[in-house]
Amino acid sequence: MSALATVRAAEGLDAFLDQLEERLEEAVASRPGVVREIGAETLAAGGKRLRPLLVFLATPPAARTGEQAVAGGAAVELVHMATLVHDDLLDGAEMRRGRPTAWAAYGAEAAKSAGDHLFACAFVQLARTGDARAVTLLADATLALARGEALQRRQAFRPDTSVDDYLARCSLKTGKLFEAACLLGGASLGAFGLALGVAFQIADDILDCSGDREATGKAGGVDLKDGTPTLPLILAAGRDPLVWRALAGEDVPNALERVQASGALEDARELAREFAARARAALDGEPDRTSLEALTHAVVDREA
């Protein structure tokens, strides 16, 4: 059985996902106008629902389809959706998952408002449960996302960005929401979520350099074009002066091919596997270790 099939076989997952999709549809339709249209289109574009899956797997089996788990799963996915809308606006990305992005279709102001609306919808989900701890967890993660985005802007077109500084950004932009998803499940899986989030982000950055646009739904080479110093680009820049110049903002023909030829993608994949191993090391005593371990493999070895 493949890693992904093992995860999908978790008891109760189908029922949870059905409730989750229904809740997300209700949330994005809660207000009329353009924000509802953009929210509905963002939701219809699909996604891995990985963050809600973490909430599900971190929740004790008897409570996995209860209100707390469904609300938590919806909340983290709505935050993720909001960041996608805002990131596409900031990056000037015109396509995501094979569809026009919100700002490309509706304009910058509408996209900004829709992203803000999705953030608000996320906190409505948790506020209705009356769980102040859950609201605080998600608020802290959302603040970390904002700090990570600011850090990424400061690092732009800086090929001298260190690997440690890159990993710090990954922890803020991706790891903290994974961590929050695990903690919303009520289990002590924060360290697992944080390490898994970093592994996921490294794998995502590798896909930007090597992924098939038809599979990923995004154009390749966006990070290089935007001067975002990801792990494969940092490693390649240290080996190839022309990649260094490209990451600094110069127009260098075939720069992405030079990244691929440098061996940086393979070395970046090894570090992603190290973080996946750290995540597995945090699973001692967890009742659903099989599914959680399988998830670490699925995250690192994915092609989309």
**What would the pLDDT profile of 23-57 be if each residue is shown by its tens digit?**
999 999 988 889 999 999 999 888 889 999 999 99
Say how far apart CA 257 and CA 255 lie, in whole Å: 5
Q: Mean pLDDT in the chain?
A: 92
pLDDT at 216 over 90: no
Q: What are phi and psi of 272, to 5 degrees?
A: -60, -40
Q: Which amino acid is at 236?
A: A
Q: What are phi and psi of 280, to 5 degrees?
A: -65, -35
For residues 233 and 303, which has the higher predicted lDDT (pLDDT)? Answer: 233
Tokens representing residue 110 in the block: 């509408």
Of the ranges 118-132, 134-148, 289-303, which one carries the lowest mean pLDDT score?
A: 289-303
Say how far apart CA 247 and CA 227 lie, in whole Å: 5
Is the separation of the CB atoms in 106 and 215 below 8 Å?
Answer: no
Q: Which of 232, 290, 282 is nearest to 261 (CA)?
A: 232
- Percent above pLDDT 90 for the chain: 77
pLDDT of amino acid 6:
83
Tokens representing residue 188 in the block: 């002590």
Tokens representing residue 201 in the block: 């982000």
The percent helix, strand, coil of the chain (3-state, each to 5) is 75, 0, 25
